[in-house]
Chain A
C-alpha cells in the first residue's frame, strides 16, 4: 500500500510538472492558440486523468478525507474542472446535439413541458457558449451573432433592448487647449502615408518657429471662452436651387418660408439644430438636438404641396448631400464663416489669434473651434512653398488648436430585457457591471456611431459557473485554514502552554 501511495504521489508530481510545461508553452503561443490547446482532445484526456488521480487519492489516502482542510483543497479542483468542462464550448456543442437527439424520446416519455424542462433546463442544451449582440439606440433584438462570422447562431427566448448609450468622461486635468502642428510623413517611396502631430510650446507675445516649416508663430490672443464674430449682416440661410437653375435664399430662422412656382412648393424653416443626432432606425427613428456632444449644425424644413400634404427634410451643413427632396430641387444649409472671436463667458470653446510669418510676410489668422468641436484646424500649406501636392491636398502641414485629452470614466448602456413585451429586467451595463439574465451574462464590449450610436454586447453562457465558484471558495478556505489558521492556533496553544509551564 505504501508503494501504491508513493506511486500516486509521483504521478501527482508528474501531472503538476506537465501542467507547468504545457502552460509555459501556452504562454509562448498566445492566448487563442493556448485556448485551443487546452481544450483539445489530448488535453481533455489529461484533465480526465487529473480527475481520476484525485479520486484515487481520496481512496488511497484516508487522511485526505479525514482532515477537513485537506479534503476541501483536493475536492476544489474536482469542482473547478467539472464546472469548467460543463461550461466549455465543446460541452455546449455536445449538449446541443444530445438535446436534439433526446428531445423526441423525452417528449414521448415525459410530455412536452417536462421534456423541455429536462432538455433546456437541466441539460442546458439550448444555449450557445458565447456571441455578440449589437444594438443601435432604441433597437431591440434577440439574435446572438457568432464572434467570427458575425452571423446569427442562436435566438434568445427574450429580447434585449438598448435604450441609450452614453460615455462619461473625467473632467480634463487642464482646461487649456493645446496648440499642435501636424506634419506630413512620407515613406521610403516618397508617398504621403501618415500625419505626425507635435505640441507647440507657446508663450504670450513670444515668437517661436514652427518645427518642420519655415513659419514663425506668435500668439496674439488666447480667449479661454470665446464667442464667434461674424461679418456684419451675415446669417445662416438655406440656398434652394430648382431644376431650372433658379436660386432662392431662405433665411434660416424658424417660421421663415418661401414659395416656389416650379415645382409648386411652400418651404418653411421648422427647427434649427446645433448638433443633430439620429437615434434608432426605421419606424423608431428619433431625431434630437444634442448640443455640447458634437457639432452637426442642421435645419429642419417642411415642404408643403398645394394639396396640403407635407414632408420634412433635415439639411446638415457638413453633409450637404443628405436630406434632398428630389424633384430636381437642391437645398443647402449654408453657415457663414466666422471672422473672429470675442470673450464670452457662456461659451465652452476657446479661440486663438496667431500671427504667422514666412518669407518676410505676416498673416493674422484665427483658430476658431465651434461649439461641440474638439479642435480647430488651419492649413499652413499656402505658406510652405516646398509642400508636396499630396500634402497640400490633405491640408498639411496644419496648425491645430486641440481640446485637452478626455479620459473615459464609463461606457454606459441602458439596457432592458423584454419577454412578451413585458419588461423583465433593467440595468445600466458598464464594464465591471454585466447584466445577468436567462442563463447569460451581457457585457459592455465596444461601441460605434455609424448610423447612430450603437453598443456591442458580449454574451456569455453561465453554464458550469457555480461549481467553479464553489471550487474557488473551497481552495481559498482550505489553504487559509491549513497554512494560517492551524499553525496560528498551534502557536497560540504553544504560548498558552508555556505560560502554564512558566507558572509552575
Chain B
C-alpha cells in the first residue's frame, strides 16, 4: 500500500472521494445532487486518464494502474447508457464500483511509467484490453443488480426502475410484480449488454496469442479463468432460456458467480504475477 503524491494521484483520490459522495447521495435519494456530482467525477476521471496519456505518450493501457484508471472513467457513461437505453438503474452501486475500481489504482498498483516491451507492441493490444475492461465494468453492474435481486425483500422498491418509455419500447409485456423480479430483469439486460464484449475480449486475446507467440490457446491459468468467466455467463443464458424468470434467485446467483469468476481472472493470476511474472504479466 502506498500513496501517490503526484498530480495524477491526487486526481484519482479526488474522483474516489466524489464517487463515495455520489453513492451516498443516491442512497439518500438526493437525485439531483447525485447526478451533478457524478458528472463532475467523470470530468475529473477523464482529466486523470488524459494526464496519464500525456505523461506516457501512448494510450495508457499497459499496466494494471492504467487499466483501473480507465475503468474508473468508464463507469459514468455506462450508468447513463443503461439508464437511458436499458431502463436499468442502480446508480449508487455504479458509484461504489467506480470507487472500488480506483482503489487499487490509488493505493496498490505502481504508476511507474514503462516503455512498451516488444510483446505489447501490437494493434490488438488495446482492443483486447479495452473490450475486457468494458465487459468487466458492465458485468460488475449486472452483479450489483443480481445482489439486489437476492437481497430482494430487504431492499426498498426500486422506484424509477425501468423507465416506462423504455419498458414499452423493449418489453411491452413485462410486468415487475416485485423488487426481486425487477432487479433480476435489470441484471439480465446488463449481462446481455456485456456478453459480446466478454466474447470479443476472449477471442481477440486468442488471435493476439497466435500472432505473438504461436498459439491461440495455451491452457494457462489466465486463459482458463477467462474461459470459465465466459462459460458461467453462457450457462446463465442457457438456463434463462430454459426457465425464464421462474427462478429469479438462481438466475441472479449465476450472474454473481460470473463476477466471482471475473474477479479471480483479474486478480488471482495478476497477483501471482506481480511477484514472478508470466505471459499475462502487466507489471514488467
Q: Which A residues contact B (CB, under 8 angstroms)? A: 6, 9-10, 12-13, 16-17, 19-20, 23-24, 26-28, 30-31, 34-35, 38, 84, 130, 170, 407-411, 430-432, 434, 441, 443, 458, 460, 465, 468-469, 472, 475-476, 479-480, 483-484, 487, 490-491, 494-495, 498
Q: How far does the alpha carbon of A484 sit from the alpha carbon of B221 in the complex, in Å?
A: 30
Q: How far does the alpha carbon of A484 sit from the alpha carbon of B203 in the complex, in Å?
A: 18
Can you add 16 more A-B contacts, CB < 8 Å, to A407-B115, A410-B118? Answer: A6-B242, A13-B238, A19-B231, A23-B225, A26-B219, A34-B219, A431-B212, A434-B211, A441-B214, A465-B210, A472-B206, A475-B199, A483-B192, A483-B196, A494-B170, A498-B169
Which residues of B in the span 172-207 have a Cβ within 8 Å of any Cβ on A?
A: 192-193, 195-196, 199-200, 203, 206-207
Q: Are B220 and A24 in contact (CB under 8 A)?
A: no
The 9 closest A-B pairs by CB, nearest first: A494-B169, A34-B219, A431-B118, A27-B221, A407-B115, A479-B196, A31-B220, A460-B214, A27-B224
Q: A462: shortest Cβ distance to chain B, in Å?
A: 9
Q: A248: shortest Cβ distance to chain B, in Å?
A: 51
Contacts of B216 in A (CB 8 A): 468
Contacts of B232 in A (CB 8 A): 20
Q: A19-B231, A20-B232 are in contact. Are A35 and B218 (CB under 8 A)?
A: yes
Q: How far does the alpha carbon of A411 sit from the alpha carbon of B219 in the complex, in Å?
A: 26
**Could you give 7 example pairs across A and B, Cβ below 8 Å?**
A13-B235, A23-B224, A23-B227, A430-B118, A434-B211, A458-B214, A479-B199
Q: How far does the alpha carbon of A303 sit from the alpha carbon of B200 in the complex, in Å?
A: 68
Q: Which B residues contact A (CB, under 8 angstroms)? A: 85, 114-115, 117-119, 121-122, 165-166, 168-170, 192-193, 195-196, 199-200, 203, 206-207, 210-221, 224-225, 227-228, 231-232, 234-235, 238-239, 241-242
The one of A407, A458, A475 that contacts B213, using a Cβ cutoff of 8 Å: A458
Q: A26-B219, A411-B118 are in contact. Are A12 and B238 (CB under 8 A)?
A: yes
Q: Are A483 and B219 in contact (CB under 8 A)?
A: no
Q: How far does the alpha carbon of A110 sit from the alpha carbon of B162 in the complex, in Å?
A: 69
Q: How far does the alpha carbon of A410 sit from the alpha carbon of B118 in the complex, in Å?
A: 5
Q: Are A38 and B203 in contact (CB under 8 A)?
A: no
Contacts of B203 in A (CB 8 A): 472, 475-476
Q: B279: shortest Cβ distance to chain A, in Å?
A: 9
Q: Are A443 and B224 in contact (CB under 8 A)?
A: no
Q: Are B224 and A13 in contact (CB under 8 A)?
A: no
Output the residue of B203, B212, B220 with the most chain A CB within 10 A: B203
Q: Are A23 and B192 in contact (CB under 8 A)?
A: no
Contacts of B238 in A (CB 8 A): 9, 12-13, 16
Q: How far does the alpha carbon of A434 sit from the alpha carbon of B121 in the complex, in Å?
A: 13
Q: How far does the alpha carbon of A84 sit from the alpha carbon of B199 in the complex, in Å?
A: 18
Contacts of A16 in B (CB 8 A): 231, 234-235, 238
Q: A27-B224, A443-B213, A476-B203 are in contact. Are A9 and B241 (CB under 8 A)?
A: yes
Q: How far does the alpha carbon of A16 sit from the alpha carbon of B236 in the complex, in Å?
A: 10
Q: How far does the alpha carbon of A35 sit from the alpha carbon of B231 in the complex, in Å?
A: 19
Q: B242: shortest Cβ distance to chain A, in Å?
A: 5
Contacts of B200 in A (CB 8 A): 476, 479-480
Closest residue to B165 on the A side, CB-wise? Answer: A498
Closest residue to A458 on the B side, CB-wise? Answer: B214
Q: How far does the alpha carbon of A494 sit from the alpha carbon of B227 in the complex, in Å?
A: 36
Q: B261: shortest Cβ distance to chain A, in Å?
A: 8
Q: A429: shortest Cβ distance to chain B, in Å?
A: 11
Q: How far does the alpha carbon of A130 sit from the alpha carbon of B192 in the complex, in Å?
A: 39
